[in-house]
């Protein structure tokens, strides 16, 4: 397996099983692969029966790993739906790791049991896992009826997320072209205070930068370049592609490497003080952290200010507003409960599960009703799952963003990653 910098936070969530008679698949890689292949051909009723038999025979804990804490809400809903699942009072959720930490942990599954199900972000690293057989891809037999596009079945998409550029409303930042965050201070309207989480440890940020090398993204970069500089982009001795130039200049423009997107969104927005003569900060971070900002209030000049109300995110940026990416549902090699893991992967795609995970009263819609949290987007077409009408739709974000492409990112070479790491190391503020 080729090595990558790791993947994500580790969230361990466990379910207790009811020990009854039966016979399930053996806990080994070949047994797991055979079970996943069989599950992909089963009807829902057949998969439910296989999960029931498996868990009644097991007497052990069903384990899930992933980045987002919403997985625990999904597991609660999963247990409520299926009577053979008991939610364990000893369920353990750990969000303390950075996203590279799971790589070493997940590789244990090559030889031993680690977990049953993993929600994996970062397509580039996932390609390594799939190639090595450390994770296995399940596809529901009725995915079309569920409203999932065939292109979204490999790897199986779980939830869409996005990282975006945002600023503090009180500073009225004029970010209208993505090249304002590159170039030099001599450029008109250049913005020289960019806050970005290091791609050394934040794999999604690395994938975002690498995606700018995708030939399919060159046209929008070149168009924005021409609109900003009033001339066509041309190759030079320094840069073979527009993406290469943008990445180099963008990284050089980072003036602060924030360690937490949540902190950047919920705290920095309200407490930031800009020294005279300096630009206010432009932040790049996970839009899903708006739920954290929604729960943070400050007393400013005698008034209570909610952090979410200070985040200026609905920017019209020539080029792109951010990066749309996916967390993928995967069955882990040597799973002890592969049929249940497949059933859980399918359950994540249902409207009832998505609403249990992602609807929140702290981010209500315009009618004041609990609604979809900002930065979470349902992968299936649905008439019952909408989007928060205070947010943009998934389709709008896809249009305004660089979109993660698994087939491109799996072709990335180590030298391309190392070049970005060298650029980060060369930034004195890193």
List beta partners, residue 359: 372
Quick one: how far is CA 208 from the chain centroid? 11
Q: Is residue 193 within 8 Å of 282, Cβ to Cβ?
A: yes
Q: Which of 11-15, 141-145, 251-255, 307-311 has the lowest mean pLDDT?
A: 11-15
pLDDT at 101: 66
Mean pLDDT of 203-207: 94
CA atoms of 120 and 295, how far apart (whole Å): 27
pLDDT at 269: 66
pLDDT at 17: 33
Q: Which of 122-126, 242-246, 377-381, 408-412 has the lowest mean pLDDT?
A: 122-126
Mean pLDDT of 327-345: 95
What is the per-residue pLDDT across 362-397, written as a single tens digit (0 to 9) for each?
888 899 888 889 999 999 998 888 888 999 999 999
Q: What percent of the chain has pLDDT over 90?
A: 62
pLDDT at 29: 67
More confident residue, 326 or 276: 326
CA atoms of 382 and 42, how far apart (whole Å): 23
The pLDDT mean for the chain works out to: 87
Q: Is residue 364 within 8 Å of 371, Cβ to Cβ?
A: yes
pLDDT at 100: 63
pLDDT at 268: 72
pLDDT at 26: 52
CA atoms of 54 and 56, how far apart (whole Å): 6
**Whole-structure pTM value:** 0.89
pLDDT at 275: 67
Mean pLDDT of 4-11: 34
What's the Cα-to-Cα distance from 152 to each of 140, 147, 190, 345, 377, rounded to whole Å? 11, 10, 38, 13, 14
Mean pLDDT of 274-301: 86
CA atoms of 313 and 307, how far apart (whole Å): 13
Mean pLDDT of 250-257: 95
**Confidence bin at 133 (pLDDT 50/70/90):** very high
What is the per-residue pLDDT across 135-165, written as a single tens digit (0 to 9) for each?
999 999 999 999 999 999 999 999 999 999 9
């Amino acid at each position: 397996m080729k090595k990558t910098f790791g993947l994500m936070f580790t969230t361990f969530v466990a379910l207790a099983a009811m020990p009854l008679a039966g016979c399930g698949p053996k806990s080994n890689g070949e047994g797991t692969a055979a079970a996943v292949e069989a599950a992909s051909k089963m009807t829902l009723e057949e998969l439910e029966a296989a999960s029931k038999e498996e868990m009644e025979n097991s007497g052990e804990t069903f384990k899930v790993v992933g980045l987002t804490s919403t997985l625990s809400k999904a597991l609660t809903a999963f247990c409520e739906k299926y009577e053979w699942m008991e939610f364990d009072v000893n369920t353990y959720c750990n969000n303390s790791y950075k996203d590279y930490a799971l790589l070493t942990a997940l590789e244990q599954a090559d030889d031993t049991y680690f977990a049953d199900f993993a929600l994996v972000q970062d397509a580039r690293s996932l390609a390594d896992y799939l190639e090595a057989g450390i994770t296995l891809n399940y596809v529901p037999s009725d995915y079309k009826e569920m409203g999932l596009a065939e292109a979204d079945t490999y790897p199986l998409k779980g939830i869409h997320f996005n990282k975006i550029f945002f600023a503090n409303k009180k500073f009225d930042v004029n970010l209208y072209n993505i090249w304002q965050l590159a170039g030099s201070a001599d450029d008109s309207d250049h913005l020289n205070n960019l806050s970005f989480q290091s791609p050394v440890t934040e794999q999604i940020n690395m994938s975002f930068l690498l995606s700018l090398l995708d030939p399919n993204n060159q046209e929008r970069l070149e168009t924005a370049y021409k609109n900003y500089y009033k001339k066509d982009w041309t190759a030079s001795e320094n840069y073979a592609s527009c993406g290469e130039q943008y990445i180099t200049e963008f990284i050089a423009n980072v003036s602060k490497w924030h360690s937490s997107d949540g902190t950047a969104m919920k705290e920095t927005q309200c407490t930031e003080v800009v020294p005279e003569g300096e630009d206010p900060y432009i932040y790049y971070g996970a839009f899903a952290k708006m739920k954290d900002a929604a729960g943070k209030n400050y007393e400013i000049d005698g008034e209570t200010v909610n952090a979410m109300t200070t985040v200026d995110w609905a920017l019209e940026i020539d080029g792109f507003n951010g990066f749309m990416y996916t967390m993928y549902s995967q069955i882990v090699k040597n799973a002890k409960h592969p049929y249940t893991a497949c059933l859980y992967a399918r359950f994540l795609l249902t409207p009832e599960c998505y609403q249990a995970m992602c609807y929140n009263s702290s981010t209500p819609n315009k009618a004041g009703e609990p609604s979809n949290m900002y930065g979470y987007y349902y992968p299936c077409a649905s008439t019952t799952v909408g989007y928060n009408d205070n947010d943009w739709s998934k389709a709008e974000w896809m249009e305004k963003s660089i979109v993660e492409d698994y087939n491109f990112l799996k072709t990335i070479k180590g030298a391309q990653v190392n070049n970005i790491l060298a650029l980060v190391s060369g930034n004195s503020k890193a």
